[in-house]
Amino acid sequence: MLPDVLREEEGRVVITVDENIPNDLIKTPGDFRESFFMLFRNPIIHEKMKEILATIGNTPLVALKRFSPRAGVRLWVKVEGLNPGGSVKDRTALAMVEAAEAKGRLHPGLTILEATSGNTGIGLAMVAAVKGYRCRLVMSEGVSVERRMMLEALGAEILLTPAAEGTDGAIAAVREMMQREPDKYYHPDQFNNPANWQAHYRTTAPEIWRDSGGAVTHVVAALGTGGTLTGLARYFRDHRLPVKSVAVEPLPGHKIQGLKNMQESLVPGIYDPSLADLHYYISDEEAYHTTRRLAREEGLVAGMSSGAALAGALRLAHSLTQGNIVVILPDRGERYLSTPLFRPTPVRNAENLPQPCGSGR
């Protein structure tokens, strides 16, 4: 699959160089090769961005150097924290808003109302700011203070529900508000909105296929709404590509922001458990430990759900003799600096921990 700037002509690949590219970028054959590589990896680089929303997606796929258990098994991470709002949820927020606009369900004057553990809220607040909508977000008091401050910075209104009720308390509060004033709001409902998983079907999955050069054998995503896993799994299945989808779920009573244990939560309507080829359960301790390793050994400061996904990928990696595993890292670590995640407390080695709930299903 070639990006827009490239086309095939009589067996040759022809590159269209935008006049906005400064001439000194393309001077010598060596420079040209470099520019070509940059354009191929990141086709949006040749455009002047019309607005911040145009920078969503096309996140880098980065090789991990120290996590692979053996030479034939390689691990790559897709760094979704490099989206402009800092998480994978920028993709879904934009997709849900634009789908609602296209269907006439969202128009000027309506307020966007959503229950969110933070990242979808940040994505929605950013999209609402650019497009000129009001945005009201309901979330658990347990959400980190950095996320709340970020939402305030983007001009969103925030309503808090008791921490003990988790995200489900926020969902119930939104349902009640919608019943009381249905004409005031547009409720994207990320847990039941197909535009959520379709964003990953349209963008995340083909990016992984393109940037891995078709070498990816497994994709690993941790479950919140299930949108990421659903979109990836459906794309690879529908296109008959040899890529296995791997779900990672936290244990009941977990504290990993953004993730859901499906036994103890309202199961999202868009989540289809039959799509995952493999399924791992990860303890909080294992997720935290792996998040710290990622920062200290690879220089990648990501959130706790990233550590959970990577911990699942490591279990998978140990069971393989060959493979190219791509792990979705949903957000940035800066968002958790006020939590115990990066505190330098001594931690037991996760490999020596008893296995929580079996290592696969």
Ligand X SMILES: Cc1ncc(COP(=O)(O)O)c(C=O)c1O
Produce one character per residue of 114-143: b if its CB has 16 or more CB atoms within 10 Å, e if not. bbbbbbbbbbbbbbbbebebbbbbbbbebb
**Nearest residue (CB) to ligand X, 46 versus 335:** 335
Q: Return the residue of 228, 283, 290, 324 that touches ligand X, per CB under 6 A.
A: 228
Q: Return the residue of 61, 208, 223, 246 that touches ligand X, per CB under 6 A.
A: 223
Stretch of 203-211, 256-264, 275-283, 337-345 contacting ligand X, by CB under 6 A: 256-264
Q: Return the residue of 46, 74, 78, 89 that touches ligand X, per CB under 6 A.
A: 89
Binding flags for ligand X, 178-217, as an x/- string (CB under 6 A): ----------------------------------------
227 is an interface residue for ligand X by CB under 6 A: yes
Can you read off the two tokens belonging to residue 142? Answer: 């347990």
305 is an interface residue for ligand X by CB under 6 A: yes
Q: How far apart are CA 126 and CA 255, in angstroms?
A: 26
Produce one character per residue of 51-88: b if its CB has 16 or more CB atoms within 10 Å, e if not. eebeebbbbebbebeebbeeeebbbbbbbbbebbbbbb
Q: How far is CA 92 from the centre of its chain?
A: 9
**Nearest residue (CB) to ligand X, 106 versus 275:** 275
Stretch of 116-124, 147-155, 211-219, 338-346 contacting ligand X, by CB under 6 A: 116-124
59 is an interface residue for ligand X by CB under 6 A: no
- Cα-Cα-Cα-Cα torsion 217, 221, 227, 232, nearest 10 degrees, comes to -10
Q: How far apart are CA 118 and CA 128, in angstroms?
A: 15
**Nearest residue (CB) to ligand X, 5 versus 143:** 143
Using CB under 6 A as the binding criterion, the count of chain residues that bind ligand X stands at: 18
The residues in 327-356 that bind ligand X, with binding defined as CB under 6 A, are 330-331
303 is an interface residue for ligand X by CB under 6 A: yes
Q: What residue is closest to ligand X based on CB?
A: 258
312 is an interface residue for ligand X by CB under 6 A: no
Q: Could you give the C-alpha distances from 185 to 37, 71, 107, 218, 268, in angstroms and in order?
A: 45, 53, 10, 39, 21
Stretch of 44-52, 102-110, 240-248, 257-265 contacting ligand X, by CB under 6 A: 257-265
**Nearest residue (CB) to ligand X, 39 versus 57:** 57
Looking at the DSSP bridge assignments, the partners of residue 159 are 138
The residues in 117-146 that bind ligand X, with binding defined as CB under 6 A, are 117, 119-120
89 belongs to the catalytic site? yes
Angle, CA 124 vertex, CA 121 and CA 129 arms, to 5° = 120
List the end-to-end C-alpha distance of the chain, in Å, as a whole number: 34
Tell me the angle at which helices 284-298 and 304-319 cross, rounded to the nearest 10 degrees: 90
Stretch of 93-101, 253-261, 291-299, 313-321 contacting ligand X, by CB under 6 A: 253-261
Contact, 329 vs 309, CB < 8 A? yes
3-state secondary structure (DSSP) of residue 197:
helix
**Nearest residue (CB) to ligand X, 5 versus 328:** 328
How near is the Cβ of 312 to ligand X at its closest, in Å? 12
- Site residues for ligand X per CB under 6 A: 89, 117, 119-120, 222-228, 257-259, 303, 305, 330-331
Catalytic residues: 89, 305
